[in-house]
Amino acid sequence: ELEDVGEVQLLQNGEEIKRPGIVHRLDRETSGVLLIAKTQEMFLHLKMQFQEHLIEKEYRAFIHGVIKKDTLVIDRAIGKSSGDFRQWSAQRGARGKMRDARTDIEVLVRGKGVTYIKASPKTGRTHQIRVHLKAIHHPVLCDPLYGFSDMVCPKELGRLALHAESVTFANLSGEPVRVRAEEPASFKDFLSLQSA
C-alpha cells in the first residue's frame, strides 16, 4: 500500500532508494517514534509541517555530567565539523553553511554523574540534539560519534542513550495528534539505579 507514497532519496553516489511513507529519520541507534504516512496527501502534509517547524518532538536522553539549571535553551548554529567528516558541530571552528538550531532542555532527574533530560528540538538539523549536548560538554551517554573518547558506556544501556519519546502533528483536519513511544526497559532500569 505504501509503495508509491513519499519521495525517492538520492544518495551521494547517484543511487536512488525508495523510502515508502518515511517522512523523517531517526539516528541508527535512537529508539522511539517514527512517522510513516499511508497516503501521499498525508506525506506532503507532514513534510510541510516538518519544513515549517510545526511538529513538536520530545526526546529523552541520559547525558554525561550533572546539569545544575532545571531548564536551558541551546541556541547555537550548526555547521560541519572541521575535524571529522561524519560529524556536525555547534562549536568554534565549524565550517560550511551555518544553520540556525535551537534545542530546549528540561532536567527530569539528576543522577550519579549523569542527568536524565527531556530535549525538545525546535529545528530539525542532522544529529541536532547530540551536537548541541556535545557543545555544552554534556554529551549523550554511549554516543560513539559525539561522546568523550574516555566515556564509559554503562552496561545497563549498551547503546546510544537517546529515545524519541513523542511527536505531535496536525492531521488533515488540523486537529493535533500526539504519538508516543514508551521509554525502553533499559532506560527504566538505568533510571532506577540513579535514584537508588
Q: CA neighbours within 13 Å on the CB side: how many for 170?
A: 13
- Cα distances from 110 to residues 66, 120, 149, 154, in angstroms, run 6, 18, 23, 16
CA distance 80 to 61: 23
Catalytic residue among 4, 27, 75, 189: 27
Q: Which amino acid would we find at residue 192?
A: S
DSSP state, 30? -
| Alpha helices in 58-168, H assignment, sequence order | 128-135
Extended strands (E) in the chain: 8-10, 16-18, 31-32, 56-64, 71-75, 78-80, 88-89, 95-99, 102-110, 114-121, 162-170, 176-180
27 given a catalytic annotation: yes
CA separation for the pair 62, 70 (Å, rounded)? 15
Residues with catalytic function: 27
